Amino acid sequence: MINFFAKYFPNVISLGWNGDAGWGTSIFQTLFMTFWSAIFGGILGIIFGLLLVLTKPKGILANKIMYSIVDKVVSIFRAVPFIILLAFVAPLTQKIVGTQIGMKAALVPLTLGVFPFFARQVQVALESVDPGKIEAAQALGASTKDIIFSVYLRESRSELIRVSTVTLISLIGLTAMAGAVGAGGLGNTAISYGYNRFNNDVTLVATLLVLLLVLLVQVLGDWLAKKLNHQER
């Protein structure tokens, strides 16, 4: 097996596991960016998604001005290509993390790049909740907080898991472009150490590792969504 890899994947082996270009380092960078961007972007996405549903016309907190502002913010950020967003928010990134280069610096544009997509997904998931259940909760005197947590978020749990899975997979793809700000990761390894140097074996292995990560997220997300769906029934 060792001889096989040495013969057909020499450049993969030469990168090693540690070091700036090592496979262990690249995997860690991808997981780091994906995890923290998912946390920050997820929080913003939930907040904006809830605001879109609550303040829409006929929503329980209907507010035309607020809805219009939130809707425009989400639409504008979603319309900006991620590679342009990287450059556009560079000054903001500098103020928040103190640098414009590295995996920590990539968290700012990644968060801003993923949250509008997730917010729209959350909006669709929450709007799938039976309006009758919301009306029933209001009739029983439930507060806005109770309706949000006990009706909207509880009743749409499985759907929220599904859209979160889709968002995570999209986020993994965005981390590949984060290499433009020196963030590293498997995407950067595939391009910088594989494609640009004509090391096809490196590109192949990096791509397979990204696909494996996507597959794990998809399988886990589907399993959790089905489990929660059965519990709701």
The interaxial angle of helices 64-79 and 23-54, nearest 10 deg, is 150
Residue 170, Cβ density class (10 Å: 0-12 exposed, 13-18 middle, ≥19 buried): middle
Q: Looking at domain 22-232, what is its CATH homologous superfamily?
A: MetI-like (1.10.3720.10)
- Quote the pLDDT of residue 231: 56
Cα 207 to Cα 191: distance, rounded to the nearest angstrom = 10
Mean of pLDDT values over 197-219 = 93
Residues listed for the chain: 233
Confidence at residue 3, expressed as pLDDT on a 0 to 100 scale:
72
pLDDT digits (tens, 9 = 90+) for 135-190: 899 888 889 999 999 999 999 999 999 999 999 999 998 988 887 667 889 988 98
Domain boundaries of the chain, sorted by first residue:
22-232
Q: How many helices (H) and strands (E) does the chain have?
A: 13, 0
Among 82, 159, 67, which residue's Cα sits nearest to residue 115?
82
Residue 187 vs residues 138, 190, 209, 214, 230: alpha-carbon distances, Å: 49, 5, 10, 13, 37
Q: What is the pLDDT of residues 92-126, one digit of tens each?
A: 999 998 888 888 889 999 999 999 999 999 999 99
pTM higher than the cut 0.75? yes
